[in-house]
Amino acid sequence: MADVKSVFTVLAVVSAAGLVGACRSSREPAQAPLTVRVDSGSVRGIVKGGSRQFLGIPYAEPPTGALRWTLPRKPRPWSGVRAAGRPGNDCPQGTAGTQGSRPSGEDCLYVNVTTPRENHGGLPVMVWWHGGGFTQGSGREYDAVRLATEGKAVVVTVNYRLGIFGYLGLPGLPGSGDFGFADQISALQWARRNASAFGGDPRNITVFGQSAGGMSVCALLTSPAAKGLISKAIVSSGSCRVRWPAGGLFPGAPADRPYVPLAQGQSDGLAAAKELGCGGEKALACLRRKPVADLLPHSESFADHLAYGTDLLPRDPAVALGAGAFTNVPVIVGGTRDEARAFVGGALKYDSKLITSETYPRLLRRAFGSSAGKVAARYPLSRFPSAGLAWAAVLTDESWACSTLAGARDLAARTTVYSYEFADENAPNVNGLRIPGLPQGAAHASDLPYLFDLGGRDLLVTRDRKELARTMVGYWSAFARSGDPNHRGAPSWRPGTAPLSLAPGAIRTVDAAAEHNCGFWETTTR
């Protein structure tokens, strides 16, 4: 954007000639207001670069006190103009005292809205659900200035309840196991009601998310609540089909998947209540009296614990997807080429002896039982520089890539699907893992800096990566606008289940099923 003084000088000269209106219409759109009115009251945002940002807008009442573990309610109206220059609290996560200077608390149901600075109307609306295993993360981490300004979109990033606060189940408790999911849907409804205030089109909403956020988006497609609420979806590193064998998320951990039947969610909730000294008929009242610090140590028990068999999620999303029981909207679906290196790296950082040439056979036996020898022959240690890379290749292929491709096939049988695989082997090391013998490559979450400035920082320092980021922003925003990601100057992206590989200077369609041995895994049992 031009220097401010230069702009005023030009306007003064043109005004004297009586041409201000013509200049604005032909060269520079009018700037949009920083004070807008949403359905609960007025908010005043801030300018950042070429964007407007409205941060920390409540989309629901604080789920505190008697509202802890209740379904979200519309926020209470306020009078005057509410300052919207700072994000709201992160939802409680981690363990007590681990969030440093970042404010957190149960009063955390806020959205952040980023739009172009210019006064546009009818922009596509993109609502982002963050990842973090359903136990960590917040909307504040994802600065959407580039996506909003380059993509000409209204981007909404969402906080939702996490861990025990978001996914506790108890018999007879309305909303059991789905409070975080209900928050996400409530934020979508808020975006629909208020899109016009920010220059967005309420009839053109795309929901997109990564990891736990992607798994939530996939679940939404099978939820009755999705009908008429969204027009498009983007699922990143989070297929409805994803599942992990024993040890797949961490050596020694049981087999897992993101969704659990309601009965299991309620049983786990009762077990947590008992451990907290809240057994019996008054368990809920007792739990609501517990301080956050007492509850947080139990949050990890509710990771990957989104409940089905409920009003919001009647069926197991994987089963519903396979049966074609999902909202028929265009979908982008994909992941990263080396997903599991992040999880294997985390395990090795914790204890370098967990994954070695000696433990590799035991990991395979625990994960795949009688098929372990078959897997070892397909992924022999001799093929890999380290046991960590071998185990990461097994998990990437079996748990992530082939599950994602299977989910894409389910979707493509009934709707338009665009598949991708992020494949920049030198992507920013967003997970901060530096493990000898285990380069992170295109690990889980390494694609995020290409869409967002994480923590407000642009992590892309080379020209070719910045160019890839512009292309990806173009794909994502074009898809949000029209349901087709193709845009001028970018390599063609054909619909279907053959992924478009996204790497600097090497965007092309690939046979990911062959690269990840999916034919082998279809014949291999755990």
DSSP state of 274: H
Tokens of 202: 């309420």
Tokens of 208: 């997109």
Q: Which residue's structure tokens are 């990957």?
A: 304
User: H/E element holding 9?
Assistant: helix 4-16
SS (H, E, C) 454-523: ECCECCCCCHHHHHHHHHHHHHHHHHHHHCCCCCCCCCCCCCEEEEEEECCCCCEECCHHHHCCHHHHHC
**Do 116 and 52 contact (CB within 8 A), yes or no?**
yes
- Quick one: 416 exposed, middle or buried, by C-beta within 10 A (0-12, 13-18, 19+)? middle
* Cβ neighbours of residue 486 closer than 8 Å, sequence gap 6 or more: 475, 478, 492, 493
- Per the rule left: phi > 0, alpha: psi between -120 and 50, beta: everything else, 277 is left
Q: Of 160, 161, 149, which Cα lies nearest the Cα of 32?
A: 149
Q: Which of 138, 211, 403, 446 is catalytic?
A: 211
Count of C-beta atoms within a 10 Å radius of residue 462: 10
Q: Which of 130, 298, 305, 444 is catalytic?
A: 444
Residue 375: alpha-carbon gap to chain centroid: 31
Q: Determine the 3-state secondary structure of 500 from DSSP.
A: strand
Residue 69, φ and ψ in degrees, nearest 5: 60, 45
User: Is 444 known to be catalytic?
Assistant: yes
Q: At what angle do helices 341-350 and 387-395 cross, to 10 degrees?
A: 140
Q: Which of 141, 339, 398, 421 is catalytic?
A: 339
Q: Of 524, 198, 486, 495, which Cα lies nearest the Cα of 379?
A: 524
Identify residue 452 by its one-letter amino acid code: F
End-to-end CA distance of the chain: 57
Q: Determine the 3-state secondary structure of 482 from DSSP.
A: helix
User: Is 40 known to be catalytic?
Assistant: no
Integer CA distances (angstroms), 101 to 65, 97, 295, 408, in order:
24, 10, 20, 41
Q: Which residue's structure tokens are 């992040």?
A: 342
Count of C-beta atoms within a 10 Å radius of residue 489: 7
Q: Output b/e per residue, 466-478; b: 16+ Cβ within 10 A.
A: eebbbbbbbbbbb
**Do 276 and 298 contact (CB within 8 A), yes or no?**
yes
User: Is 305 known to be catalytic?
Assistant: no
Return d(Cα 285, Cα 464) in angstroms, integer.
56
Torsion of CA 307, 311, 312, 318, to 10 degrees: 60
The radius of gyration computed from the CA coordinates of the chain, to the nearest angstrom, equals 24
Residues annotated as catalytic are: 211, 339, 444
